[in-house]
């Protein structure tokens, strides 16, 4: 589950836990907001571009050169431009399996989605 104390900087996390938490928060936020805007707004979809792509983070964290980054680039291009994603409001695409799939169960929690929207609104209002 998402650790809102860590979200607000009240608890420290390891680098890998912070990364996982950020991905969960983004997926939950996108699911909630994408479904909320399905009738009137832009299409929002979460995409796992693929695991262990050849990025600086993978090399530093795992000592691996990673897989061809073109795999991740291609799915993001498809998500932005193809009809395959046109009606995918709030869905999650797992490029490791090559299909739409269910995200982590916590990302589907409506209460968490509401809490994240409120938290983001607060962060934005404090920044302006």
pTM over 0.75: yes
Say what the pLDDT of residue 53 is: 67
Q: Is the pLDDT of residue 5 over 90?
A: yes
Say what the pLDDT of residue 103 is: 95
Residue where the block lists tokens 């498809």? 78
- By percentage, how much of the chain surpasses pLDDT 70? 97
Residue 51 banded pLDDT, cuts 50, 70, 90: confident
For residue range 9-49, what is the model confidence (pLDDT) as tens digits? 999 999 889 988 999 999 999 999 999 999 888 899 999 88
Say what the pLDDT of residue 93 is: 93
CB 6 within 8 A of CB 21: yes
Tell me how crowded residue 45 is: count the other CB atoms within 10 A of its CB.
19
């Amino acid at each position: 589950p998402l650790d809102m104390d860590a979200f607000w900087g009240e608890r420290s996390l390891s680098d890998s836990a912070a990364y996982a938490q950020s991905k969960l928060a983004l997926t939950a936020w996108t699911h909630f907001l994408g479904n909320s805007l399905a009738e009137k707004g832009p299409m929002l979809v979460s995409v796992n571009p693929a695991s262990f792509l050849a990025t600086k983070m993978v090399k530093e964290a795992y000592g691996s050169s990673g897989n061809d980054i073109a795999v991740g680039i291609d799915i993001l291009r498809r998500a932005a431009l193809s009809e395959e994603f046109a009606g995918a409001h709030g869905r999650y695409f797992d490029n490791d399996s090559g299909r739409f799939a269910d995200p982590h169960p916590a990302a589907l929690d409506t209460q968490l989605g509401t809490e994240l929207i409120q938290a983001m609104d607060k962060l934005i209002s404090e920044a302006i």
